[in-house]
Structure 1
């Protein structure tokens, strides 16, 4: 089996992998595992140039794979990949670009083992290129690539499109076995300046556990034409129903690992002799998976181990919300307000204190990412939770009406899972007033419509 390592963002040399490759080689020999570990390839790519996009990297990755000695222009031999950080979404983008859903079974990748992947972005990316480059423990003084940084922001368009396009991929049917491994330890000795995201609970100091998971969900809430004719509140209806992956993706969370660093880093802390380290043993276990039955067993094992690791700690959910109207226009930050509702009357300000750990707006896409304490959300009053959106303009010739989504008690735990991300797409109906466009009677002479006012009646096609 060929194993390829793919590093993260703004790495400038292959020492980033630490001694993990050597530890894997030794552990495989100790366990009599027939793993062609000598064929490890330490992938290197340039991610610190401002002109480079993630798609550029995916195309370059394909060329680099074909240039390996055992491959050629026509064929890539079956291989496994171990990725770190940005390397995770990069190889997923390579899959989607060259082997989209309908040809997924042709993909030569057999095992994708992601370490602390940025599958849904990093909260740190928002703080800006100049400041983030001062995180010497991550970038060694190298300026991070701006377009890669844009992709890594929470709620970015690139990340959103990748996750929506690949959500229904059936990796098991295609013979691809994915595992996600991430820590929830924070190594405070590495930080060059203070920022709350560096010590955020439920994260490894860079990636939130919820942002690494490939067990994510999409809920589309639509304001119907019939609801806008009713008295408020106009209710948002799921359309289509909640979408989730075709099968559960194995996800393991560790107490002892952070994102980077020689002491706790999920890669760099591993020494050659650490053959019994949990991450080493789990990677080997992942490479031994060859059937859906093997995979299901490993998935259950990882779930049990994660539950043990998180006993007595808070667990978190990420919710990424897009607001647009029925014409496809995405609303900007100053055009709407969102309120969380709770209790039998679905009222604001009823959620428990501390339920929201963080809220971040992506300035390019207008998407809002909420970081929520899942355990507190699952204990809201009357097991009822909802959302209210007040959009602007709310009067005039073209306007919106406020709308609410009211989740039923059994829906809350289906929509919001610990250590996972949910995308919520809200589609409001833009109301066009009948008086916006009128034809006058020719024989009436000059018609003055300067002071025309809205009729407060929608057009018939609304």
Structure 2
């Protein structure tokens, strides 16, 4: 019996309202399938997705359920006959398909989805720093003039540090390894870090942010990530404090690593424009294209051995692209000699809760270097910070990996742009929660700086989720029992020591 050819489904991102967003990719896939029959693509079954993301009531789980209904409606007979499909997504399309996989297959305990390959172009797996601008008044006005909603239901998922995105990624952390392979599916991430000078917005620095394609950071796209849990010690007597007790230590659990997923940086591409967009700029003809080359490598994977080989090849390609694109010359867009060094970056998603599950809303987090000193961190290591607007207990820090771990000197056109950078050698953090007095309070705590923390938290092009669990301290005097029946005013009863 001849092996069935695979269907192709293309999935766009947020706010798209026209299928021209796919560029020449549909026709190019047909061309490549005819040139290489071993791709096993059904050229008569290339489907373009059209889904609504710009209505405020629509959420990513809603779109995932609608995708399942569309599959049954349009491809039901083929799927019943065990024909599988390849899915190529762009941007928000990746969270949609991942949510579909988790809802209908991974979370439901089903082993074999009809999906064989998930190829994610510039995926918003951990969201986008631009979302907070998308939720702004300016974006609402633009949407009003264009006659559509902003699409806040989807944007809430895409905001950095959203509870929905973290839940999906933590579930993949636990179950993903068992899903990768011929009996499951093969996931891949293709991303860019270049910027089209014609799209620079000098008021909005995110459009030319290092380690980003102007919308999605490489660290946010990457499905190789780490989860670390820090727990505060129980309060203990401390004569050196005004309250008589403290809980100064944070203890880390062993980090959990995600399953290895191939990540390829594509040279010279940005997020979505016609000239440089990772998908939209793909030509329909046989013109050489780096994105197409990477897609074809993914499509040829049939075994775990193939998958491991592509992982290694993509890792080498990513290192080569970051070396080649280390200096972005912006002299062409202005009258000045201006070069920008584009270092690898990383994200820390810091989620602060107490041991009762409450979200802490008032706190500071300081990163520290040697001797637990914030001044022990190198100049220029910190790039950006965002607090999630729906979850004030979650902060996302964006850091320069090269500044943190050290890097060789950078030369460009025969001159040195930057001397070699030393490593900061150690990393820790200090959490200062509020309130620190009263019947229910919190106490500051420190994760002691160490080289191990630096290695676990700071990884190039990756995200580390850090769950920080603080002790919610209830103190004596809050609740008492008495057998004294005489009237007593207890409104000014002072708090005592922590209760068990």
Same fold (TM over 0.5): yes
Change (3 A) 1:15 1:301: same
1:82 CA displacement: 0.1
Aligned residues: CA RMSD = 2.3
State the Cα deviation string for residues 236-271 of structure 1 (Å, max 9, x = none): 1123x21111x3100011231000111100111111
Cross-structure match for 1:238: 252
Distance 2:202 2:451 in 1: 42
1:141 CA displacement: 8.1
1:256-271 equivalences under 5 Å are 256-271=268-283
Change (3 A) 1:346 1:69: closer
Cross-structure match for 2:495: 454
Of the structure 1 ranges 204-213 and 403-412, higher mean CA displacement relative to structure 2 is found in 403-412
1:133 CA displacement: 6.6
Contact map agreement 1:228 1:234 (CA 8 A) in 2: no
Instruction: Determine helix, strand or coil for the equivalent of 2:498.
Output: coil
Cross-structure match for 1:296: 308
Cross-structure match for 1:217: 226
Contact map agreement 2:117 2:185 (CA 8 A) in 1: yes
Instruction: Determine helix, strand or coil for the equivalent of 1:161.
Output: helix
Instruction: Determine helix, strand or coil for the equivalent of 1:38.
Output: strand
State the Cα deviation string for residues 106-138 of structure 1 (Å, max 9, x = none): 2111100000011000000001445347889xx
Cross-structure match for 1:204: 213
1:171-186 equivalences under 5 Å are 171-173=179-181, 174-186=183-195
Mapped pair 1:341 → 2:368? yes
Cross-structure match for 2:430: 388
Contact map agreement 1:342 1:381 (CA 8 A) in 2: no
Of the structure 1 ranges 269-278 and 230-239, higher mean CA displacement relative to structure 2 is found in 230-239
Change (3 A) 1:37 1:282: farther
Contact map agreement 1:124 1:132 (CA 8 A) in 2: no
Unaligned runs of 5+ in 2: 1-5, 239-244, 327-341, 407-421
Contact map agreement 2:90 2:123 (CA 8 A) in 1: yes
Contact map agreement 1:28 1:284 (CA 8 A) in 2: no
Cross-structure match for 1:364: 390
Cross-structure match for 1:127: 133
1:28 CA displacement: 3.2
Cross-structure match for 1:2: 7
1:24 CA displacement: 2.3
State the Cα deviation string for residues 367-424 of structure 1 (Å, max 9, x = none): 1100001111224766111110010111111111100112531342232211111111
Distance 2:75 2:401 in 1: 48
Contact map agreement 2:404 2:424 (CA 8 A) in 1: no
1:27 to 8, 26, 32: 32
Cross-structure match for 1:195: 204
Distance 1:447 1:383 in 2: 59
Contact map agreement 2:376 2:424 (CA 8 A) in 1: no
Contact map agreement 1:134 1:192 (CA 8 A) in 2: no
Of the structure 1 ranges 401-410 and 84-93, higher mean CA displacement relative to structure 2 is found in 401-410
Instruction: Determine helix, strand or coil for the equivalent of 1:406.
Output: strand
Instruction: Determine helix, strand or coil for the equivalent of 1:321.
Output: strand
Distance 1:27 1:100 in 2: 31
Distance 1:324 1:310 in 2: 36
Cross-structure match for 1:322: 351
Distance 1:426 1:153 in 2: 20
Distance 2:222 2:201 in 1: 28
Mapped pair 1:426 → 2:440? no
Cross-structure match for 2:266: 254
Mapped pair 1:378 → 2:402? no
Distance 1:449 1:232 in 2: 26
Cross-structure match for 1:441: 483
State the Cα deviation string for residues 35-75 of structure 1 (Å, max 9, x = none): 22331101111111111111110100001011124537967
The number of residues matched between the two structures is 450
Change (3 A) 1:156 1:39: same
Unaligned runs of 5+ in 1: none
Distance 1:132 1:113 in 2: 30
- Normalised to the residue count of structure 1, the TM-score between the two structures is 0.92
Instruction: Determine helix, strand or coil for the equivalent of 1:71.
Output: helix
Contact map agreement 1:398 1:433 (CA 8 A) in 2: yes
Cross-structure match for 2:157: 151
Contact map agreement 2:133 2:139 (CA 8 A) in 1: yes
Of the structure 1 ranges 215-224 and 75-84, higher mean CA displacement relative to structure 2 is found in 75-84
Change (3 A) 1:450 1:326: same
Instruction: Determine helix, strand or coil for the equivalent of 1:5.
Output: strand
Change (3 A) 1:207 1:135: farther
